[in-house]
Structure 1
Amino acid sequence: MELPDFDVMLEMAKQDPEALEALRKSLVEKVIATADDRYKRKLKGLQFKIDMERQRARTPLATCLALSGMMHDSFYRLNDSLNEFRQLSLNADIESPTSAEGAVFQTGQNASYKCDVINLDMYRQSNEDVIEC
């Protein structure tokens, strides 16, 4: 199902809000259905939270603010995780000045991945003469 033109949806909102809501639900279900199986449960849970916030809100503006708050909370958690990782990498005993070759990181369900950690500032300094187009 393709997203209709903005003007069409605006007219739907004015003339037939139930049809617009049905379209929204259909599109959300399609996105979740086409997602990778490992993400479907989490996406359904997130959509449930969104739907509950929409029900609790008394006005469209309150809905917008609540959902915006949810997004900001998610970005703050991501930022905290990235800062924590950065701090761990700064505190790590790194032999090479630009990388920690073969660092092993634990992720969900006890999986571990071997990767190189590169200090971005040092990488930029060592490549400042390189111009890429």
Structure 2
Amino acid sequence: MDTLPNFDDMAKMAKEDPEQFEQLRQQLIENAINQAHENMKPRLKAQQSHIDLVISRGKNPLHTTMLLRNELQRQLVRFAETLQHPYSQENAEITPISSHPKQSENTDKNSF
């Protein structure tokens, strides 16, 4: 794809033709991964797979956005911890998403 549709066109596509929107999304992701260095492609594919798993848990667009926001926040905290303690064994472990505690609806409003 040479040019990306504008936001309004993409929002209309997502609402009126979600299959076409998903196809566009997947194509853009694939293009971005294919442009990456060969050493990064497996990590990018794994990260995208994880993102797709988070998205699949969403009940509606707002819920999906909140799940993605929470996941990004979790990863940023982990990244900060790794920067502060780069040789910690805890930072070397990868925790599968299925074992993360579910966030309650009474999440602290003052966090990120």
Q: 1:12-60 deviations in whole A, cap 9, x for unaligned?
A: 1222121111100100011111111111101111111111111122121
- Which residue number in structure 2 is paired with residue 21 of structure 1? 22
Residue 37 in structure 1 maps to residue 34 in structure 2: no
Residue equivalent to 1:47: 48
Alignment of 1:52-67 (within 5 A): 52-67=53-68
- In structure 2, give the amino acid aligned to 1:58: K
Q: Equivalent residue for 2:7?
A: 6
Q: How does the TM-score come out when normalised to structure 2?
A: 0.69
Partner-residue secondary structure (3-state), 2:39: helix
Number of residue pairs matched by the alignment: 85
CA distance in 1, matches of 2:49, 2:59: 18
Give, as a single letter, the amino acid of the residue that structure 2 aligns with 1:19.
Q
Richer in strand (by share): 1
Identity, % of aligned positions: 38
What is the one-letter code of the residue matched to 2:85? E
TM-score calculated relative to the size of structure 1: 0.59
Mapped partners of 1:53, 1:74: distance in 2: 13
Q: Residue 77 of structure 2 aligns with which residue?
A: 76
Which deviations, in whole Å up to 9, do the C-alpha atoms of 1:67-117 show, x marking residues without a partner?
1111111111121122226xxxxxxxxxxxxxxxxxxxxxxxxxxxxxxxx
Amino acid at match of 1:60: P
Q: CA RMSD in A?
A: 1.4
* Structure 2 residue ranges without an equivalent (≥5): 87-112
| Residue 129 of structure 1: aligned partner | none
One-letter identity of the residue aligned with 1:70: E
Larger Cα Rg: Structure 1 or Structure 2? 1
The CA distance in 2 between the partners of 1:84 and 1:56, in whole Å, is 32
